Amino acid sequence: MKVRSLPLAWVAAVLLLLLILLAFAELSIGAMHFSVDTLLHALFHYQPTVFSDRIIVDIRLLHLIVAAVVGACLAMAGYLLQTIIGNPLGEPHIFGLNAGASLAVVACSAFGNALLLSPFLRPLIAAIGGGMLFSAVLFAAYLSRQGLAVVTTTLCGITLSAFAASLTSLLLLFNEQTLQATLLWLNGDIAGLNWSAVYATLPPFLLAVVVAFLVSPALCVLSLGEQVAEGLGVRVLRSRIIGLGAIALFCGIAVSLAGPIGFVGLIVPNIVRQLITVQPRSALWVNALMGAVLLLAADLCAQHLLGSQSLATGTVTALLGAPVFVALAVRYFR
């Protein structure tokens, strides 16, 4: 049941407040607790020789930025994906994008050279892998009797994702060095990164955001049907290809940084759709904001839910997202 649409300003204000509170918690809470004065000193007067400054900036601030970027990328990818294929169950993790991106990164790590392992090429390699597997999902669904129907596309996505995950596991079995380096990453965890990895994702992230904002109005018209879109002057094939390129880039960035974290792209767009009715570009940045909030909250739970024992962030999002997926599937197919 759809709730009454809320004002965009209210939703944005609440999300910004939550983001600030979660950011403060991410920076201050941990094995060492820091006061507001210590945080402000580290952020505005950083000194690499001060231990607390290094903990706050080089570990916790890095962790915070990665979580926010990955959450925003996955949420925007999910929104664009659901809009393009008209499927409320559309999600990068379910439709093969994350699995394809992970397979591409692991394959390059196992057999590639130093150039392919460059932080600047890693997001692009992941994006290519995710885009190729998602194209295979669409092609397999198109060959069926029902075409790109919701149930067909979803089942093809789950099947090919499992196949890609099996290939990834097979590669890791024959390459123990790659297994040790990527085991935690494959569980969807935001750890062990450095600032150079974040800087490397900045150009593809900006490119994906610009492309997504430019193509989102056309994709929204596409959700009304191809004939309606063509009648309104939308170039259907070109818009879909451009949109899929933006989705692949978002997923490539997210996977290259944090591994295959699932269900953020499923939960966030469905919540936003229930809360507000706005123009596509406004919906896109609201999804990005809520995605950042959701993943930061999941990351805090992963770090502190079990006390001294940490969980992978992807484990928490899976615990949240799996029931949501089941509920949406039951409601859709009932």
Instruction: With H, G, I as helix, E, B as strand and everything else as coil, classify residue 162.
Output: helix
Q: 159-217: per-residue pLDDT in tens? A: 999 999 999 888 888 776 666 667 777 777 777 778 888 888 999 999 999 999 998 88
Residue type, 326: V
Residue type, 318: A
Q: How high is the pLDDT of residue 1? A: 47
**How far apart (Å, rounded) are the C-alpha atoms in residues 241 and 254?**
20
**How far apart (Å, rounded) are the C-alpha atoms in residues 46 and 326?**
47
**How far apart (Å, rounded) are the C-alpha atoms in residues 161 and 167?**
10
**How far apart (Å, rounded) are the C-alpha atoms in residues 174 and 130?**
23
This prediction's pTM: 0.91
Q: 214-240: per-residue pLDDT in tens? A: 988 887 777 666 777 777 777 877 888
Per-position DSSP letters for 244-288, written without gaps between them: HHHHHHHHHHHHHHH----SHHHHHHHHHHHH----HHHHHHHHH
Segments of the chain scoring below 50 in pLDDT? 1, 114
The runs of H, that is alpha helices, within the chain are: 8-28, 36-44, 51-54, 62-85, 97-111, 122-143, 150-173, 176-186, 195-222, 226-231, 236-258, 264-275, 280-304, 313-333
